[in-house]
Structure 1
Amino acid sequence: MYTRLVSAIAIAVGTAHAVHAAEIELTLSHWVPGTHPLQVTGMEPWAESIKQASNGRIEITIYPAQQLGAAADHYDMARDGIVDIGFINPGYQPGRFPILAAAELPFLFENAKAGVAALTEWYKPYSETEMADTYFCMALSHDPGTFHSTSKILVPEDVKGKTVRPANATEARFVNLLGGASVQVSAAESREVLAKGAADMTQSPWESLYIFGVDSIVTHHLDMPLYASINAFIFNKAKLEIMSEEDRQVIYDHCTPEWAEKMSSGWADAEAAGRDKIAADPKHTLWKPNEEQVQMWKDAAAPLTDEWKETIRKAGGDPDEMLNGLIEALKARNSYAGE
């Protein structure tokens, strides 16, 4: 009697669990630590919102810290269905996404919040060609980053002869234009190259110096917003295609400029707060360029735009139309750093 009762209860519990189990289980892979603000304040609330909006039918499991693959491999991982959702840095694969590389040009973004909303809105139509083998969900970024060094960094000349871990392919080219050498590894690998002396500088937003454990190595900082490192969420297309129309719409509703801003806001705030932490630490020195020195950096960066435009022309695109479109999108959201 007791055995039959226990069995009946077990069956009932199992049936109830089956009724409430997610119908679609998605894997989201990224390469920053699980404690990173992008996961805690961005990915986790986003995944929960998708679950709620689908009445529990869609559940997302997050795999941080390169558990499923290296940072530079995440586009191909999502394309090939190794993961369902990939967090990518297109700049880790030089030349592969030349249109989106426009957003890597220095001195474009005033902020990451409205800035990524503008970027998502601008890039969506282009993604249908440039990332056609995946579904581009949204662009993401941090508060604008800068140079962090083991020695003084104030003017472009200070990069000459130094080895730098750049944020992306565009910044790697910038380092080369300045007379430096670049060693291009992901942010997750930056500590190793700096600790070994294989790099004298890195490019990063501020709080990431603590997140990736390089704050004790690079103690000199260019106190100027220089660049945005562009990231994105992409989906495996086949996974979306097997979903019902209703569930696909839930995903589409969570891949918008507004969600891009929500996803990036906590990260942006954390990075901005990191600057205050660095500034308050007597072991660190912030080098603040004056107006003339800022112009020196802008002049040094100008060839990057010319080179990007030539790349787009060779591919048959209209670079002026593309770049002007991005600038107008940024201006419309009060997030353009230019004059």
Structure 2
Amino acid sequence: MNMNMKNKKIILFLGCMWSTFAFSQTYTLRLAHFWPANSSVGNVIQDWANSIESDSNKQLNIEIYPSQTLAKAAQSYTATVSGIADITVTAQGYMAGRFPLTQVVELPGLITNAENSSCVIQKLYDNKLISAEYSDTHPLFLFVHGPGHIHTSDKQVSTPSDLEGMRIRRATTVVADLLSSMNANPVGMPAPETYQSAQRGVIQGVAFPWQAMKDFRLNELLSHHTEIGLYTLSFITTMNKSAYNKLPDDLKKILDQHSGEYWSRVMGKALDDLDADGRKEAIEAGHTIETINNVNSDPVWGPITKKVIASYIENMDSQSEKAENIYNKALEYSTLCESNKVL
């Protein structure tokens, strides 16, 4: 009897020890992104990671690899699928043709500001309009940057014809189509390579939001700006499925609480604030800024942008009906997101 009681106590003790070990076990997640380490967007990603670490009592540690150090921008989503990275924050457009339905949000006429349009793209995902494109990872939240404008070195762009023959860095194939329709020469390259390319004259301008002009120091080289809201760029923060599934439920919950529309809006709002900083930097440097409002309604720019929208949707072939529905839903969600602001 005494021996049985002793054995029970030993088992109970070992059980408590194992529970304590399991509770205190830490997990390190490798996060890859392409922004410079101390950039404004890099700092926002760091703030998100710090919040996760704090809320998990440091059981979840996010090890950040900026500046394409763990995976190149164009391969970071694939690196997350394979497990080279546990989490990535990347642009869908860097992988041409892989996320065609998602990239509908990049078309002209949808972007108002980053917070609103980040809410829009998250709703498209949550309502399963684009979710099938991410079946190979565990998405945490989607977002977009602010309105993409045209920034050039020596020539002010006032009309589409001003772009003729100019070598302009484009982010995605959507932006490439827009620039090509204006007889510009779109040049594809990851954002971190733009400063050196502009410095050497490889490109004569970029299509960028204001935030990127400051982050990649391009306000130092490009002094003519056309605020036109020509496009936006979609991003995703997503996770390797196995890395998520192996976590205990309490830590999965922490990640779930750092996912979805709220965090999509947080990132969008941060990018809006950073856009303001980038624009202020250009103003203080005495740059030339020309503003064109409501690009799709503009008598000069509108016919071109509308044609690109129609062409993109038509070229989706079997998915063209879905793409048109997504564009219309995005317009609808934009109004909804504006009326239900939470930040």
- TM-score, structure 1 length as denominator? 0.86
Q: Is the 8 A contact 2:109 2:294 kept in 1?
A: no
Amino acid at match of 1:233: T
1:11-50 deviation per Cα after TM superposition (whole angstroms, max 9, x unaligned): xxxxxxx89965211011111012122222x222222222
Aligned residues: CA RMSD? 2.2
Match of 1:68 in 2: 70
Amino acid at match of 1:101: Q
Gap change, CA 1:291 and 1:269, over 3 Å in 2: closer
Match of 2:116 in 1: 114
* Residue 291 of structure 1, CA deviation: 7.9
**Which portions of structure 1, spanning 4 or more consecutive aligned residues, are displaced by more than 6 angstroms?**
18-21, 290-293
Gap change, CA 1:291 and 1:121, over 3 Å in 2: closer
1:200-253 deviation per Cα after TM superposition (whole angstroms, max 9, x unaligned): 110111242232122232111103332211111111011111112332222122
- For residue 288 of structure 2, the aligned residue among 281, 285, 294 is 285
1:87-128 deviation per Cα after TM superposition (whole angstroms, max 9, x unaligned): 111111221110001111012111111320221121242443
1:57-90 deviation per Cα after TM superposition (whole angstroms, max 9, x unaligned): 2111111111112111111111110000011111
DSSP 3-state at the match of 1:222: strand
* Residue 188 of structure 1, CA deviation: 0.6
Match of 2:37 in 1: 34
- For residue 195 of structure 2, the aligned residue among 185, 191, 198 is 191
Q: Is the 8 A contact 1:22 1:56 kept in 2?
A: no
Amino acid at match of 2:174: T
Match of 1:52 in 2: 54
Match of 1:223 in 2: 227
> Residues 166-181 of structure 1: matches in 2 within 5 Å?
166-181=170-185
Give the Cα–Cα distance (whole angstroms) in 2 for the partners of residues 59 and 26 of structure 1: 6
Match of 2:214 in 1: 210
Match of 2:261 in 1: 257
Amino acid at match of 2:45: M
Question: Is residue 2:332 matched to residue 1:328?
Answer: yes
Q: Over alpha carbons, which structure has the higher Rg?
A: 2
Gap change, CA 1:290 and 1:37, over 3 Å in 2: closer
Match of 2:84 in 1: 82
Aligned length, in residue pairs: 316
Gap change, CA 1:135 and 1:290, over 3 Å in 2: closer
Gap change, CA 1:291 and 1:239, over 3 Å in 2: closer
Gap change, CA 1:103 and 1:215, over 3 Å in 2: same
DSSP 3-state at the match of 1:215: helix
Give the Cα–Cα distance (whole angstroms) in 2 for the partners of residues 305 and 58 of structure 1: 43
> Residues 88-103 of structure 1: matches in 2 within 5 Å?
88-103=90-105
1:155-195 deviation per Cα after TM superposition (whole angstroms, max 9, x unaligned): 11111111110122200111111111111001111112212
Match of 2:132 in 1: 129
Structure 1, unpaired ranges of 5+: 1-17
* Residue 320 of structure 1, CA deviation: 2.7
DSSP 3-state at the match of 1:318: helix
Give the Cα–Cα distance (whole angstroms) in 1 for the partners of residues 179 and 59 of structure 2: 48
Gap change, CA 1:44 and 1:120, over 3 Å in 2: same
Task: Give percent identity, aligned residues only.
Answer: 24
> Residues 144-183 of structure 1: matches in 2 within 5 Å?
144-150=147-153, 151-183=155-187
Give the Cα–Cα distance (whole angstroms) in 1 for the partners of residues 86 and 274 of structure 2: 27
Give the Cα–Cα distance (whole angstroms) in 2 for the partners of residues 291 and 249 of structure 1: 41
Structure 2, unpaired ranges of 5+: 1-20
1:306-337 deviation per Cα after TM superposition (whole angstroms, max 9, x unaligned): 122223342475233222222111110129xx
Give the Cα–Cα distance (whole angstroms) in 1 for the partners of residues 308 and 294 of structure 2: 21
Match of 2:28 in 1: 25
Q: Is the 8 A contact 1:313 1:319 kept in 2?
A: no
Q: Is the 8 A contact 1:187 1:212 kept in 2?
A: yes
Gap change, CA 1:126 and 1:135, over 3 Å in 2: farther
DSSP 3-state at the match of 2:229: coil
Gap change, CA 1:318 and 1:210, over 3 Å in 2: closer
